[in-house]
Amino acid sequence: MHTRAFRMNLNPGQEQEYLRRHTDIWPQLVALLRSAGIEDYRIFLDPHSHALFAVMTHQVPHGLDDLPAHPVMQRWWQHMQDIMPSNADGSPCSVDLQPMFSLPPT
C-alpha cells in the first residue's frame, strides 16, 4: 500500500454544495476509483482558508494514471468545476503534499 496526500481549494461559500455532491457521489465513480486500486480516500476542509486536504491510500501497482482519460472521471471533473478551481483539462487544481512525519509503529 502507498499513501499520498494533496491539497485542493474550494470556492468560498461552496462548502455545503461540495459536501452534498460527495454525499451523493456516483456509484460508477466509486467503482472506477476502487478498480484503480484506491483503498481509502478522505478529504478534509479547512473552513478558514477553503483548502481541501486529501489523503489517499492505494495499492501498488495501481491504475491511477489511467483515471484522467476515463469518461466517468471527465464527467465528475466537469460536475465539480463550478465550485472549485480547475485546470484547463477540467481536473481540480491540486498540489502534492510532501510527507513530513509518520507515527512510528509500536
The residue whose grid cell reads 461559500 is: 13
- What does the alpha-carbon distance between residue 8 and residue 6 come to, in Å, rounded to a whole number? 7
* pTM for the predicted model, two decimal places: 0.91
What is the rounded average pLDDT for all residues in the chain?
97
Identify the pLDDT of residue 45.
Answer: 98
Q: What is the domain partition of the chain in residue ranges?
A: 2-96
Active site residues: 22
Identify the pLDDT of residue 97.
Answer: 98
Averaged pLDDT, 79-91: 97
| Grid coordinates given for 60 | 501498488
Buried b (16+ CB within 10 A) or exposed e, 49-84: ebebebebebeeebebeebeebeebeebbeebeebb
The residues pairing with 45 across neighbouring beta strands, listed in sequence order, are 52
Identify the pLDDT of residue 75.
Answer: 97
CATH 3.30.300.130 assigned to domain 2-96? The reply is: no
User: CB–CB of 53/96 below 8 Å?
Assistant: no
- What does the alpha-carbon distance between residue 41 and residue 55 come to, in Å, rounded to a whole number? 6
